[in-house]
Amino acid sequence: MNRQTNDPSQQLRIKWDQRYADEEKIARPAEVLLNNAHLLPKQGSTLDLACGLGGNALFLASRGFVVEAWDLSAVAIQRLEQSARQQNLNNLHARVRDVENHPPSTEQFDVIVVSYFLERALIPALIQALKPDGLLFYQTFTQLAVSSEGPQNPAFRLADQELLQLFRDLKVRLYREEGRLGDLSLGSRDVAMLVAQK
């Protein structure tokens, strides 16, 4: 099959499909969700946005939440569907969806999780998509980093304290960003984490 294209959104799909075809990549929930799961409501509708292999979605579904998991990579979504089937998680609904062109609807979710995806233009839609009192869990790479992990283009990484600015209309319940302070061999480096409530 000829997979050459000039369409940037198609190029992005191909790039991610190729990455997810690597069987060694595994689904892992983000630290911001794993370490703060006690803040989750008892039940509700949840979204893992730009879910990739769906580590967050699988985690939420295994705790009984109804989960939507959206990503533009069909390969990632197929692998997530397979994981959900293997774990008997009928409450997980994985869909191929370009979230820039098709963001969530107003007040659709009680919980939204975003890890390692940064599309600043989408932030107002994410805030809108939360139900009243809804919770957002966000974690992604920062420009101020210790290792060379993550995207090299600084535009795809958060500026110092930027998550706080982007979600200033929500109530911040938890924020962590260690920058390059102290003993660089310890801690949660290279990322910022936010849990915020509408």
Chain residues that interact with ligand SAM, rule: CB under 6 A: 12, 16, 30, 50-52, 55, 71-73, 76, 98-100, 115-117
Q: Give how far the C-alpha of residue 68 lies from the chain's centroid of Cα atoms, to the nearest Å.
A: 12
Nearer to ligand SAM, 19 or 180 (CB): 19
- Is 68:45 a contact under the CB 8 Å cutoff? yes
- As measured in angstroms, the least distance from the Cβ of 182 to ligand SAM is 26
State the nearest-atom distance from the C-beta of 151 to ligand SAM, in Å: 8
Instruction: Kindly tell me which of 150 and 179 has the beta carbon lying closer to ligand SAM.
Output: 150
Length of the chain: 198
Smallest distance, ligand SAM to C-beta of residue 50, A: 3
Q: How far is the CB of 43 from ligand SAM (least distance, A)?
A: 23
Q: Are 135 and 41 in contact (CB under 8 A)?
A: yes
Closest residue to ligand SAM in the complex (CB): 52
Structure-token pair, residue 151? 């995207």
Considering the complex, state which of residue 99 and residue 158 has its C-beta at the smaller distance from ligand SAM. 99
Looking from the CA of 181 toward its CB, the CA atoms found within 13 Å total 7
Q: Measured from the CB atom, is 71 or 177 closer to ligand SAM?
A: 71
Residue 91's CB is within 10 A of a number of other CB atoms, namely: 16
Hey, is 118 helix, strand or coil?
Answer: coil
